[in-house]
Chain A
Amino acid sequence: MAKMTMVQAINLALLQEMEKDPSVIVLGEDVGINEGVFRVTAGLHRKFGEDRVIDTPLAESGILGTSIGMALAGLKPVCEMQFDGFSYLAIGQLEGHATRYRSRTLGHFTCPLVMRFPYGGGVRALEHHSEARESMYALMPGIKVVIPSGPRNARALLVAAIRDPDPVVFMEPKRSYRAFREEVPEEEETLPIGQAHVVQEGADLTVVSWGAMMRATQQAVAEVQDRRGVGIELIDLLTLAPLDQATIAASVKKTGRCVVVQEGPRFYSASSEIVATINDKVFEYLEAPIKRVTGYDVVTPYFSREEHFIPGPDKVAHGIEETLDF
């Protein structure tokens, strides 16, 4: 075991999968000699060479499009979009091809690739570098959307994503990249895609969150528990699509109250789907309206004001207490 940041843990996953499987290749802008703008691909170019760690031309759609071709021809590309706001340029290839190659060819051709990128705000970054639009990806049938919250699950989930038979959008909360360290085992570890993690059990209220919001949420949960002497069940979603409806439903059935914490805008979002899931599955167990603590439906504000738009521990705690008091 070594204490690692999320960047180091993701790097470990890439390194070990590349060592294990020669069909795994890494491509993206500045991922080679420069080792990625966040150093996620550190050491890979040196170890595996430029044919396996490709510094691509600057072309997001082309990066995903060529990755699709590589996947169709039997490779396992792990491509990097440099920032969340640039990933939109690849959406045409994602929705137009990656999502549907398996379906439209009845499984004859498949598209096992990982499109990974740093997402989200909180690092005082330039315009287009602070976007949390995971919901946009999660609504496309045929892809999986995975969002780790810490170093250890980031490593285990990326290994699973690389081995997955389907295209996986792997979104890395950039404000958690170096914010804290965790023990990450040297030996192989994977987590199943599509399965949420119950971080702590509790009988009085369920909180569902994911990605960078997990830290603010954990802090809020601890505060409210201390203050109110209640038991809060905390679910780290880890995979947004396909959604682990069973874990959410089982928890809310038990607690009767739920708060969903999400960084991105609220309308037509993952949080909406979680509310709908609870409505479908366990409506009769609800004792309070489901609360959503989310970003607002505004264009991502520039960084001088971004802190007001990203849910923090206070907003989350307030949401939890409102729901407890209903």
Chain B
Amino acid sequence: MPLKDTRTFTIPFLQVLGEDGKVDPKLDPKLGDDQLLELYRGMVLGREADQRMLKLQRQGRLGTFSPSTGQEAASCGPLLAMTERDWLVPAFRELGGMLMRGVPFSRILMFWGGQEEGNVFPGAPNTLPIAVIVGSQIPHAAGVAYALKYRGEKNAAVVTFFGDGATSQGDFLEGANMAAVWKVPAVFICQNNQWAISTPITKQTVSETIAQKGLAFGMTSLRVDGNDALAMYKATRDALDQAYRGDGPTFIEAVTYRLMMHTTADDPTKYRSEEQVKEWEKKDPLIRFRIYLRGKKLWDDDREAALLEEVKQEIDAGVREYETREIARPETAFDHVYGTRHAHLEEQRAEFLGALQRSTPHG
């Protein structure tokens, strides 16, 4: 008997806003001017905050962090589509999106500045903190989504982010599969930025696309130009609507590029070519969005200057708060180990306080 195809699949690719700043009218999500400007502002804030963090890190005022420059569209587009009812389950390269969410910049600085306070987000409910263990947050997203479905919460879903490297992790496979089997309201956004520290995507997987991994779980799955904020918005909008309808999760592969180093402790010139970086700099999500806004007569040099000044003020304020806020007493590390009090920890706290009075740090 001849072999027959039992299934054939396709992976759609979505691009709304080309590198030339021109919109495909058939795919245009037709955002209002206010929303377009909000989206642009989010990306600019993300970019400027990222660049400020680099300076702070180099000056020794911030710890190691993972820059997001070049990937602003991939997190800001989705955030524009979300409401406060939706949960955000981030990885660690969604700075623009987290700021759009309402996470104060000072809290981001606190996290990378080595303070647990950087995991607490006043003003941004339903937002989990940064997850450092690659891909480990993906099952959490599936679990949160299960809770939303179980409680019958209307118009609420979970959006989780992770990188291309995460798709090699078991927790990605387990979490995404469970979400699909349980048909929970979740959106899985893979920021395929081509690099997991020094490991290129070609050494991560020989799948032609990452999107087909989502398809393998039976999810709606597509590839999106991750440097196209309108496409990222539209893909997430559609995915959220599907989730709200009870039609299950979506997998979005956002094809983008990590323009900077993995973290500030890393030197990418060791493993990748300057030419590749230059090629992707041409696809910068901010450049094309600016051209688009200018074409719509929503933007000019004066507005750009005003926005940069406004954003600078916000960043300055965040830095000020981060640097002037008193660091919590070290013994507070004993406060939240458990929700109940236990004698051995109380004894250790007392011992710790005694040592603290007698000595200097590391003494």
Residues of A within 8 A of B (CB): 25, 51-52, 54, 56-57, 59, 61-62, 64-75, 77, 92-93, 96-97, 102-110, 112, 141-142, 144, 164-166, 193-194, 242-243, 245-246
Q: Could you tell me which residues of chain B, from 324 to 345, have a CB within 8 Å of some CB in chain A?
A: 332-333, 335-340, 342-345
Once A61-B139, A65-B171, A66-B178 are accepted as A-B contacts, the answer to whether A75 and B339 lie under 8 Å apart by CB is no
Please list 6 pairs of residues, one from A and one from B, whose beta carbons are closer than 8 Å in the complex, sorted by A's number: A65-B140, A67-B143, A93-B136, A165-B339, A242-B343, A245-B344
Tell me if B337 and A72 are in contact (CB < 8 A): no
Q: A69 touches which one: B133, B146, B337, B342 (CB < 8 A)? A: B146
Tell me if A69 and B140 are in contact (CB < 8 A): yes
Q: Would you list the 4 A-B pairs with minimal beta carbon distance, nearest first?
A: A69-B143, A65-B139, A62-B174, A165-B339
Tell me if A104 and B140 are in contact (CB < 8 A): no
Q: Could you tell me which residues of chain B, from 123 to 138, have a CB within 8 Å of some CB in chain A?
A: 128-129, 133, 136, 138
Min CB distance B333 to A, Å, is: 7
Tell me if A106 and B336 are in contact (CB < 8 A): yes
Asked if B148 is at the interface (CB within 8 A of a chain A CB), the reply is yes
Residue of A nearest to B177 (CB): A57
CA distance A104 to B335 in the complex (A): 11
Once A57-B177, A105-B129, A109-B128 are accepted as A-B contacts, the answer to whether A66 and B139 lie under 8 Å apart by CB is yes
Once A69-B147, A108-B120 are accepted as A-B contacts, the answer to whether A166 and B340 lie under 8 Å apart by CB is yes
Tell me if B339 and A106 are in contact (CB < 8 A): no
Residue of A nearest to B334 (CB): A103
Asked if B209 is at the interface (CB within 8 A of a chain A CB), the reply is no
Asked if B317 is at the interface (CB within 8 A of a chain A CB), the reply is no
**B contacts with A, residue count (CB < 8 A):** 44
Once A25-B150, A57-B174, A92-B136 are accepted as A-B contacts, the answer to whether A106 and B119 lie under 8 Å apart by CB is yes
Residue of A nearest to B186 (CB): A69
Once A242-B342, A242-B344 are accepted as A-B contacts, the answer to whether A69 and B139 lie under 8 Å apart by CB is yes
Once A69-B145, A73-B144, A93-B171 are accepted as A-B contacts, the answer to whether A106 and B178 lie under 8 Å apart by CB is no
CA distance A110 to B181 in the complex (A): 26
Most buried by A among B120, B171, B177, B338: B338
Residue of B nearest to A143 (CB): B338
Tell me if A72 and B174 are in contact (CB < 8 A): no
CA distance A257 to B26 in the complex (A): 83
Main secondary structure, interface of B, reads helix
Residues from chain B with Cβ under 8 Å of A164 in the complex: 339-340
Residues of B within 8 A of A (CB): 87, 89, 116-117, 119-120, 128-129, 133, 136, 138-148, 150-151, 170-171, 173-175, 177-178, 181-182, 332-333, 335-340, 342-345
Min CB distance A56 to B, Å, is: 7
Most buried by B among A64, A66, A109, A112: A66
Residues from chain B with Cβ under 8 Å of A52 in the complex: 150
Residues from chain B with Cβ under 8 Å of A108 in the complex: 119-120
Residue of A nearest to B145 (CB): A69
Once A110-B339, A242-B338 are accepted as A-B contacts, the answer to whether A65 and B143 lie under 8 Å apart by CB is yes
CA distance A69 to B146 in the complex (A): 8
CA distance A218 to B201 in the complex (A): 60
Residues from chain A with Cβ under 8 Å of B116 in the complex: 103-106
Residues from chain B with Cβ under 8 Å of A105 in the complex: 116, 119-120, 129, 336
Residues from chain B with Cβ under 8 Å of A71 in the complex: 143
